[in-house]
């Protein structure tokens, strides 16, 4: 799979990220590094523990990483949970729905990245 196909599959913004980082190989390197990023696991653990403050921080961090990498769908899902918790750090059913959206987009993103040809 090419990098562009990977971004298409994850519903990312290939054009923006390659223009910003000026190198397809650099984008690919950072995308592959995302496979080992611990932020999603922190979010998952915080949701299990119902730790709203850590959920907010992890969702906010994930949002920033995804914005920088052009992972648009995962960025939008993370941003939704971040904004929901920004002024009210109370976890409720709406947070569960938003978290499930993040999980779905995270899985799609990870599966797409794993399909990249590693030249």
pLDDT in tens, 23-65: 999 999 999 999 999 999 999 999 999 999 999 999 999 999 9
Average pLDDT value over all residues in the chain: 96
pLDDT band at residue 114 under the 50/70/90 scheme:
very high
Name all contacts of 106-111 with Cβ < 8 Å and 24+ positions apart.
106/40, 106/74, 106/77, 108/9, 108/10, 108/11, 108/73, 108/74, 109/10, 109/12, 109/34, 109/71, 109/73, 109/74, 110/35, 111/9
Range with the poorest average pLDDT among 21-25, 29-33, 92-96, 114-118? 114-118
Which pLDDT band holds residue 116 (cuts at 50, 70, 90)?
A: confident
The C-alpha atoms of residue 72 and residue 108 are separated, in whole angstroms, by: 12
Protein fold of 3-114? 1.20.120
């Amino acid at each position: 799979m090419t990098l562009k196909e990977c971004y298409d599959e994850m519903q990312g913004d290939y054009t923006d990220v390659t223009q910003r980082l000026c190198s397809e190989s650099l984008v690919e390197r950072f995308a592959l590094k995302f496979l080992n990023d611990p932020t999603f696991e922190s979010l998952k653990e915080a949701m299990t523990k119902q730790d709203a403050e850590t959920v907010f921080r992890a969702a906010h961090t994930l949002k920033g990483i995804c914005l920088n990498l052009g992972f648009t769908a995962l960025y939008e899902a993370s941003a939704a949970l971040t904004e929901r918790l920004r002024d009210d750090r109370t976890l409720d059913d709406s947070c569960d729905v938003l978290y499930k959206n993040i999980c779905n987009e995270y899985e799609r993103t990870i599966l797409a990245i794993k399909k990249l040809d590693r030249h």
